[in-house]
Structure 1
Amino acid sequence: MKKLKKFFRYDNIGYFFVLPAVIYMLFFVGYPIVSNFILSFQDVTVKTLSSPNKPFAGIENYQTLFQDEVLRTSIINTLLFTVLCLVFQFMIGFLLALFFNRRFSFAKPVRGLLMMPWMIPITVTALIFKFMFSSNVGIINQALMGIGLISAPIDWLTQPATAMIALIISNVWIGIPFNMILISTGLTTIPTELYESAGIDGANKLQTFWKITVPMLKPTIGSVLILGFIYTFKVFDLVFVMTGGGPVNSTQMLSTYSYKLSFNMFKYSQGAAAANVLFVILFIVSLIYLKFAYSEEDL
């Protein structure tokens, strides 16, 4: 009891408030990560899944995985998909944030409506875009044929050259509101006195944008990009519903390839190894971001 009283005497009661969150994270995040890591070093298939003593495979799963051409294709596809989505959704989101930061009628209601793509479940969005990109009844082909850009319907989701384009367009549509709202929040933190002082000194719109807006938004931009990278890099449901990683692995991502190895080919250990590759890449990116964030705070 004395130790307990001494503990509360130093205002340590806050630890009890965060304890439920810590337990939740350990159970629902920590345990799956550790379990998946152990699974990747075992030889678990349909035959050995229910066995109490699963055979140890060491790094054999990783060796087999990195010799697989599909893994290299998945990594390239994931990086390409992530980078292109980030570029377009950030640029469009930034422009929309600047536009809605201006004071005019119906700015707030319209900005609220533009948040709808982010609020709709991704599975529903994927089904909508899958229908829109269908070759026969899709509105995309009908619109392009209506304005004369194409003469015949395009098989968007069944051709390797166009399937990735359809996925990028769909994911950009989802990610634009996320970028817009975070950058809009960052814009509200910039003091208006800075713009007034710049106007008195004779600075034009472009100069105030590059000398005031962009430097003041650096922390926000960094957060938006790193969060966007993490959300986009681990994409699964959008790709799984629209293309399933096809055609001919042209849209195969690390997440969908891990799923394919585990639940289609029943190579659970190799699927766990592929998931760990995804985890390690995102972990390294997060560490790099934290390093830059802390270095900026020290300046």
Structure 2
Amino acid sequence: MRRVLGTFRDGVGFDVALLCAALLYLLLAAGIPIAYNVVLSFQRVDIFSLGSFSHPWVGWENYVGVFQDRAAMRVLTNTAIFLGLSILFQFTLGFALALFFDLGFPGATWYRGVFLAAWIMPGLVVGVIWNWLLAGDFGVINHLLRSAGMISEPIFWRSDVRYSLYAVLLANIWYGTPFNMILLSVGLAAIPRDLYEASALDGATAWQRFRTITVPMMFPTIGAVLALGVIFTLQQFDLFAAITSGGPSNSSKVAQFWSWELSFREYDFGRGAVISVIMIAFVLMVAALYVTSTRAETRA
């Protein structure tokens, strides 16, 4: 025992202990729940049999049932639109804000903190705020559009099948942009200023410096931001619950909300688990792609 303690005191083996502790935590906090969810997706489980450890094994029946559901194609389309446009606008606006605040004008740090305050708020609070902003009769958005002469009648963003998904999308872009801005600002701060000064002396324009210095040096950060953006967007549930509840007529229903609805409204935990498994597999693919690209870049 003394020899073991002496080894840790000397620092030898301490890193291995930390690694084992991290792996144990991942196993307990993520590995076991994910494994249980996968098993659940192959079983028939309802509210009456949830507490039992013996559930009927149905094989791929739950997976077939999910994809044969009439709502499946609408949910898949909504999820793809919501994910793609969220990542596009959050990243683009976040990068633009990061470049803007990187100029170092007076008060830039304070204004950056103000933007970050939006991301710190809980999702349900953000959803309530955007409920007020998007209200059809007295909402600020409709008031601004009317004042600008862009609309003559109010738009009922939350209850119109044409706009409900984009109402949540707008709130999510506003919610996630500050997070992108902060991570990208860290990447910009790590770029040596000598490179910009040397290129400026060589006559490079601002666009040429951005294209040949900023973007290549930011590749690892950009990859991390995009990967995290996919994960956080697929986790977004609060905004849908607070603004549209997936309606009307499934017009704003996405995969994560459908999984919750199947499990806790229809009490079909097997099919709810199927959607979770598919989403977990997609997130793992994104993470693996990011890790692979990062390793390839490091070797190069």
Give the alignment's TM-score, normalised by structure 1: 0.94
1:256 — aligned with what?
257
Per the TM alignment, residue 116 of structure 1 is displaced from its structure 2 partner at its CA by 0.9
Q: Deviations over 1:59-100 (max 9, x none)?
A: 111111121231222222111111111111111111111111
Quote the Cα distance in structure 1 between the aligned partners of 2:282 and 2:70.
18
Quote the Cα distance in structure 2 between the aligned partners of 1:99 and 1:52.
56
1:182 — aligned with what?
183
2:151 — aligned with what?
150
Per the TM alignment, residue 289 of structure 1 is displaced from its structure 2 partner at its CA by 1.5
2:13 — aligned with what?
12
Q: Does 1:92 align with 2:67?
A: no
Q: Secondary structure at 1:198's aligned position in 2?
A: helix
Per the TM alignment, residue 204 of structure 1 is displaced from its structure 2 partner at its CA by 1.2
Q: Deviations over 1:190-226 (max 9, x none)?
A: 1111111111111111111111111111111111111
2:192 — aligned with what?
191
2:120 — aligned with what?
119
Quote the Cα distance in structure 2 between the aligned partners of 1:126 and 1:85.
16
Range 16-25 or range 284-293, more displaced = 16-25
Per the TM alignment, residue 145 of structure 1 is displaced from its structure 2 partner at its CA by 1.5
Quote the Cα distance in structure 1 between the aligned partners of 2:292 and 2:75.
28
1:135 — aligned with what?
136
**CA 1:277–1:136 in structure 2 vs 1: closer, same or farther (change >3 Å)?**
same
Give the letter aligned to residue 235 of structure 1: Q
1:234 — aligned with what?
235
Quote the Cα distance in structure 2 between the aligned partners of 1:88 and 1:81.
11
**Aligned-residue RMSD, C-alpha:** 1.9
2:33 — aligned with what?
32
2:205 — aligned with what?
204
Residue pair 1:234, 1:254 contacting (<8 A) in 2 also: no
1:45 — aligned with what?
46
Give the letter aligned to residue 62 of structure 1: Y
Quote the Cα distance in structure 1 between the aligned partners of 2:125 and 2:20.
35
Per the TM alignment, residue 281 of structure 1 is displaced from its structure 2 partner at its CA by 1.2
Q: Secondary structure at 1:244's aligned position in 2?
A: coil
1:73 — aligned with what?
74
Quote the Cα distance in structure 2 between the aligned partners of 1:94 and 1:148.
31
Q: Does 1:102 align with 2:106?
A: no
Residue pair 1:234, 1:278 contacting (<8 A) in 2 also: no
Q: Percent identity?
A: 37
Quote the Cα distance in structure 1 between the aligned partners of 2:21 and 2:155.
52
Quote the Cα distance in structure 1 between the aligned partners of 2:7 and 2:271.
47
Quote the Cα distance in structure 1 between the aligned partners of 2:6 and 2:67.
55
Structure 1: 5+ residue stretches without partners? none
Q: Deviations over 1:245-288 (max 9, x none)?
A: 11111111111101111111111111111111111111111111
Range 79-88 or range 12-21, more displaced = 12-21
Quote the Cα distance in structure 2 between the aligned partners of 1:91 and 1:60.
41
Residue pair 1:79, 1:233 contacting (<8 A) in 2 also: no
**CA 1:5–1:21 in structure 2 vs 1: closer, same or farther (change >3 Å)?**
closer
**CA 1:209–1:47 in structure 2 vs 1: closer, same or farther (change >3 Å)?**
same
Structure 2: 5+ residue stretches without partners? none
Residue pair 1:71, 1:257 contacting (<8 A) in 2 also: no
Quote the Cα distance in structure 2 between the aligned partners of 1:207 and 1:52.
63
Per the TM alignment, residue 101 of structure 1 is displaced from its structure 2 partner at its CA by 0.5
Q: Does 1:168 align with 2:166?
A: no
1:278 — aligned with what?
279
Quote the Cα distance in structure 2 between the aligned partners of 1:33 and 1:7.
36
Q: Secondary structure at 1:64's aligned position in 2?
A: helix
Per the TM alignment, residue 54 of structure 1 is displaced from its structure 2 partner at its CA by 1.5
Give the letter aligned to residue 168 of structure 1: L
Range 267-276 or range 229-238, more displaced = 229-238
Give the letter aligned to residue 250 of structure 2: N
Range 262-271 or range 46-55, more displaced = 46-55
Per the TM alignment, residue 17 of structure 1 is displaced from its structure 2 partner at its CA by 3.6
